[in-house]
A and B are shown apart, each in its own frame.
Chain A
Amino acid sequence: MADRRYTKTHEWITVDGKTATIGITDFAQSQLGDVVFLELPTIGRKIGAREGFGVVESVKAASDLYSPVAGRITEVNEKLSSKPELINSDPYGEGWILKLELAGDLPTDLLDEGEYKKVTEASAQ
């Protein structure tokens, strides 16, 4: 998807008007291995850019999730509580994690596909 942006901490974001959808990247899920649980915030909570908002537990480790942008949480993906494996099988689709109502402009440090690819190639070494 052309308008999908990425972070160095392996989250992705798409924006539709004032609504942002956030998840973790395919590279992130492949590194984590099978996801077994997500600890997610409550709807209505305000979070800042690069603020931690939850935890993803895989068989290997617990990893913090960071928001690429500031905003107010309007939705969390309820399906993940019973099917956390959606993060592995469809990280950019059914495995989305939460939706935010954007506060202000998008940060300028978000990466496009090509820039993110370089990050993953560097960390795969």
Chain B
Amino acid sequence: MVDFGGWEMPQQYSSIRDEHFAVRKAAGLFDVSHMGRFRIAGDPSFDFLQRTVTNDLGPLVHGQAQYNLMLNESGGIIDDLVVYRGSEGFFVVVNASNREGDLDWLREHAPSGVEIEDRTFELGLIAYQGPRAEELLPAEGLHDLPYFGFRGGDVAGIHALISRTGYTGEDGFELFIDSDRVGEVWDAILERGRSAGVLPAGLGARDATRLEAALRLWGNDMDQTTNPYEAGLGWTVKLGKGEFIGREALQKIKAEGPRRMLVGLKTGSGDIARHGAEVRASGRPVGHVTSGTHSFFLGHPIALAMVEAASLRVEDTAAVEVRGREARAEVVKLPFYRGSARSGTSTAKA
């Protein structure tokens, strides 16, 4: 067990390698109950959220979710989050490590009439991810549920909010279930999937699959000193939607061009570039690795690195620090791996 944002969580249930392959070949079941979950309701909640996040909530209909960023006044990323629009208001899912900070930020900026309720401890959240997740989930009629759509339904006979989202690059579902029933659903999913190779999957497999899919991890690949353009998340920013926190700063950054960019690196066998490792291009330091791991599925180590804008291009060779020496790295296109998730551009997160 490891500490993750104050929660005790398993790095692996059996083996990271086996769990990783289960997610890519059949499905894996993750307990992501540590993620922060808030209900935001009241008449002014649409306007309030629209001014607090980067994406345009305007086109969002009931039963749709959207990937978003919450910025500070200088355009730095406070957190990335998924906003769900329900018939009785909004629901947002945030990173565990930012739950309290996000809650303070939202409450500080909310006008009267907006109700913000932390529901993290009443609801369990599990993610069933993999190309066979729909087929193997003990639930009916999910074929027409679109990517980033959600609805209420029964899973193994227990009421759940079923959302077609995830953080692995694969098709799959995130299930919000009352804390006292979530264990039963967990067991039923594993029971039904066992013969197909389904496994419970821990943080190790979660990090490897999200990194292959080039899904950013707040605190590693971005933080309050990173703006959305640097993080390669400009697609979540809708400058034309009207006023929102950080917009003015972003207009300036966009006009001047971002100073840094996130690139993908591939290294040779055993050369795992870890968070913080220096990246050099033509003998000159250009940035640092933000996330790195060995990809069992691709068969070589992969890393994301934040480097000076225009210092590296796909197919370039860079040098990266591994165990105190320089290792050769090839700049590759992102994502490293495109799984069965239905949309190539709408980056999901659990």
Contacts and interface: CB of A to CB of B under 8 A. Distances in A.
Interface of A: 33-34, 36-39, 55, 57, 59-62, 85, 88
Interface string B286-300: 000000011010000
A60 B301 CA distance: 12
Contacts of A85: 17
Give the interface size class of chain B.
Answer: 10 to 19
B240 interface: no
Contact of B269 (A34, A37, A62): A37
Contacts of A39: 270, 323
A55 to B, nearest CB: 6
A34 B272 contact: no
Contacts, number: 39
B15 A62 contact: no
Interface string B193-207: 000000000001000
Interface of B: 11-12, 15-17, 204, 208, 269-270, 272, 274, 293-294, 296, 301, 323
Q: Is the interface of B mostly helix, strand, loop or mixed?
A: loop
B274 A62 contact: yes
Given A60-B11, A62-B272, A62-B274, A34 B296 contact: yes
Given A37-B269, A37-B270, A57 B294 contact: yes
13 contacts: A33-B11, A36-B270, A36-B272, A36-B294, A36-B301, A37-B269, A37-B270, A38-B270, A39-B270, A57-B272, A59-B293, A60-B204, A62-B323
Nearest to A36: B294
A2 B270 CA distance: 34
B16 A59 contact: yes
B15 A34 contact: yes
A34 B323 contact: no
